[in-house]
Amino acid sequence: MEEHKNTQYRRADETISLDELKSFLWGAATRLRGQIDAAGYKEYIFPLLFFKRISDVYDEQFEGFVAEGGEEYAGMQAEELAIRIPDGAHWRDVREVTENVGQRLVEAFIAIEQANPGEETDGRVIGGLDGIFGPKDGWTNKAKMPDHIITSLIEDFSRYNLGLSSCPADEMGQAYEYLVGKFADDAGNTAQEFYTNRTVVTLMAEILQPQPDESIYDPTCGSGGMLVKCLDFLRQKGQPWQGVKVFGQEINTLTASIARMNLYLNGVEDFSIVREDTLAHPAFVDGSHLRKFDIVLANPPYSIKTWNREAFQNDKWGRNFLGTPPQGRADYAFFQHIIASMDDKTGRCAILFPHGVLFRDEEQAMREELIKLDFLECVIGLGPNLFFNASMEACIIICRKKKSSDRKGKVLFIDAKDEVTRKNAESYLEQHHIKKIVDAYNAFIDIDGFAKVVDNAAISSNRALISIQSYVVNSDNTQQYNYDESIKEWLNQSVIMHSQVNQFLNIIE
């Protein structure tokens, strides 16, 4: 390239605070209001953010090489960088264009993707930028994204230096997660496949206790937030996280791209994210078996009806060891895939599920087999409204392939439905909620009204029900209720019920 200095920035020497970065990113997104639907913001903002970030990091690294040994030396060293920017495909090259900006942007995206192939090793493709910018048709549709809108976005991003010195990886990662949450909130009902409440993911990571050099897998990884949170667990404790091997699979093309960007922007390089249907085509296999992982965590799509039940009934990967789920609910198909993907010695998982998997009659036989195998370790009931635009309550199911001797033949049930804070229309777990739940899990003892240890034999004799209310009972019957608050809560729940009934009727119609 002819020029490698950040002269295009108005604030080249200034750092950007996290709050400023968040405000700027959301402000850039709102430029799209009225132009495209809110659900489509992510298709444009995330690729631009990633493009700007890698261009600025490249400049920063190149200038460091120049300082070390001059321009020629820097040119040679740049060829060995983790992410390479080909001539003509830098941010500044696109910024100079005044016509057909979308087409020029797409050309830069393609050039960068082709210049940065993944590394094939260990039976997988590690990293690489192939397809990372996602679908590209929207950029060249001038009715949808005219030149002046794209130019405005580029000028917005050009105001800031997003190199590592101005914006460290942890800060960029936090801003990215903020943007994921904002997009999910603004996009309404499209959010569930894209975003899982991060305080719930923190709880899952605290329970699973990832260790350095372990492997982590999410078979329905969405935007990659669960994988990032597991690595954050290690980072925050000052433990080495660079050796952790990260694997993810996601059916949606754009969301899979966003997950890869998320990992890169959080400083992760040893990862493999594959765009494919997990039930139909599991991406990570070892010969005739599924690949095994130390940790599996997931928030699978709830009770999907469109899936190939017949193929699963004769699954060549042996994922129907509990039985074949009903066509209308694929939850236990994902459940069995996850258990089959756990290492026989170290494997453990945490899965977010709807409460129905704990008690539905059509899945009783599969629950009975699950209890016989003694993989189920803990069931945690969560409070309401922890998922965007949904009042539903969910549960976390914890399984281990090899339980400790004191937990064999037993299951711990935790009723944490009251462990939630709601503020400004947002529900989340606070640190004291997480600590209370984790402490109960670690103690593995009865706690009146909160936790109960139950023998597998007792569960089997109770129709293999693993619903929390079947076992956790508060022996204190002196609880007092405020009349006004109780009426208010009853009315609120009534509204929710009628809304959900109407949604159900619309679906069956």
What would the pLDDT profile of 85-139 be if each residue is shown by its tens digit?
Answer: 999 999 999 999 989 999 999 999 999 999 999 888 877 888 889 999 988 999 9
**Per the domain annotation, does 13 fall within a domain?**
no
SS3 annotation, 252-291: CHHHHHHHHHHHHHCCCCCEEEEECCCCCCCCCEECCEEC
Per the CB < 8 A criterion, the answer to whether 276 and 251 are in contact is yes
**Per the domain annotation, does 1 fall within a domain?**
no
**Per the domain annotation, does 478 fall within a domain?**
no
Token pair recorded at residue 420: 């939630």
**Nearest CA among 228, 177, 176, 239 for reference residue 202:** 228
Q: How many H helices and E strands in the chain?
A: 15, 15
Distance between CA atoms of 190 and 384, rounded to whole angstroms? 19
Domain's final residue, options 162, 189, 216: 189
Same domain assignment for residues 487 and 466: no
Bridge pairing between strands 376-384 and 410-415: parallel
Token pair recorded at residue 459: 């569960």
Per the CB < 8 A criterion, the answer to whether 195 and 225 are in contact is yes
**Nearest CA among 358, 462, 121 for reference residue 454:** 462
Bridge pairing between strands 421-423 and 426-428: antiparallel
**Nearest CA among 291, 296, 226 for reference residue 255:** 226
Q: Can you point out the beta strands (E) in 334-444? A: 348-354, 376-384, 393-400, 410-415, 421-423, 426-428
**Per the domain annotation, does 477 fall within a domain?**
no
> How distant, in Å, are the alpha carbons of 214, 330, 346, 400 from that of 343?
11, 23, 5, 9
Same domain assignment for residues 440 and 502: no
Same domain assignment for residues 247 and 376: yes
Whole-prediction pTM:
0.83
Q: What is the pLDDT of residues 16-40, one digit of tens each?
A: 888 888 888 888 888 888 788 777 8
Token pair recorded at residue 345: 């010695």
Domain's final residue, options 189, 217, 237: 189
Give pLDDT, residue 478: 47
Same domain assignment for residues 172 and 256: no
Q: Can you point out the beta strands (E) in 75-126? A: 119-121, 124-126
85: exposed, middle or buried (Cβ count in 10 Å: 0-12, 13-18, 19+):
buried
The three-class DSSP label of residue 358 is helix
Same domain assignment for residues 262 and 401: yes
For residue 495, is pLDDT > 50?
Answer: yes
Distance between CA atoms of 105 and 93, rounded to whole angstroms? 9
Distance between CA atoms of 32 and 185, rounded to whole angstroms? 16
Locate all alpha helices (DSSP H) within 188-328, ordered by sequence.
198-208, 225-236, 253-265, 309-313
- Range in 15-29, 326-340, 360-374, 449-463 the model is least confident about: 15-29
Token pair recorded at residue 236: 């925050």
For residue 6, is pLDDT > 50?
Answer: no
> How distant, in Å, are the alpha carbons of 366, 371, 398 from that of 208?
24, 20, 9
Please report where in the chains the tokens 């469109």 appear, as a residue.
Answer: 306
* Percentage of the residues of the chain whose pLDDT score is greater than 70: 90
Distance between CA atoms of 283 and 293, rounded to whole angstroms? 13
For residue 188, is pLDDT > 60?
Answer: no
Per the CB < 8 A criterion, the answer to whether 342 and 335 are in contact is no
Same domain assignment for residues 178 and 306: no
CATH code (residue 33): 1.20.1260.30
Q: Average the pLDDT over 476-500 and give the result.
A: 63
Same domain assignment for residues 156 and 277: no
Higher pLDDT, 303 or 104: 104
For residue 185, name the pLDDT band (cuts at 50, 70, 90): low
Give pLDDT, residue 7: 41
Same domain assignment for residues 292 and 200: yes
Domain count, the chain: 3
Bridge pairing between strands 376-384 and 393-400: antiparallel
**DSSP type of residue 39:** G
**Where is 332: in which H helix or E strand?**
helix 331-340
CATH code (residue 199): 3.40.50.150
Task: Answer positive or negative: Cα dihedral of 147, 152, 155, 161.
Answer: negative
Q: Which residues contact 18 (CB under 8 A, 6 or more apart)?
A: 171, 174, 175
**Per the domain annotation, does 213 fall within a domain?**
yes
The amino acid sitting at 45 is I
Give pLDDT, residue 482: 55
> How distant, in Å, are the alpha carbons of 36, 191, 354, 392, 497 from that of 502?
29, 21, 19, 15, 9
Distance between CA atoms of 381 and 415, rounded to whole angstroms? 5
**Per the domain annotation, does 230 fall within a domain?**
yes
Q: Which residue segment(s) compose the domain that 134 sits in?
A: 18-189
Same domain assignment for residues 112 and 207: no
Backbone angles phi, psi at 119, to 5 degrees: -100, 120
**Per the domain annotation, does 11 fall within a domain?**
no
Domain's final residue, options 170, 189, 208: 189
Per the CB < 8 A criterion, the answer to whether 151 and 44 are in contact is no
Per the CB < 8 A criterion, the answer to whether 301 and 193 are in contact is yes
**Per the domain annotation, does 6 fall within a domain?**
no
Distance between CA atoms of 177 and 205, rounded to whole angstroms? 17
Same domain assignment for residues 39 and 76: yes
Rg (CA), the chain: 25
Same domain assignment for residues 83 and 129: yes
Same domain assignment for residues 174 and 244: no
Give pLDDT, residue 4: 39
Q: What is the pLDDT of residues 379-431, one digit of tens each?
A: 999 998 886 555 678 999 999 999 999 999 999 999 999 999 988 777 889 99
Per the CB < 8 A criterion, the answer to whether 476 and 449 are in contact is yes
Give pLDDT, residue 243: 85
Length of the chain: 509
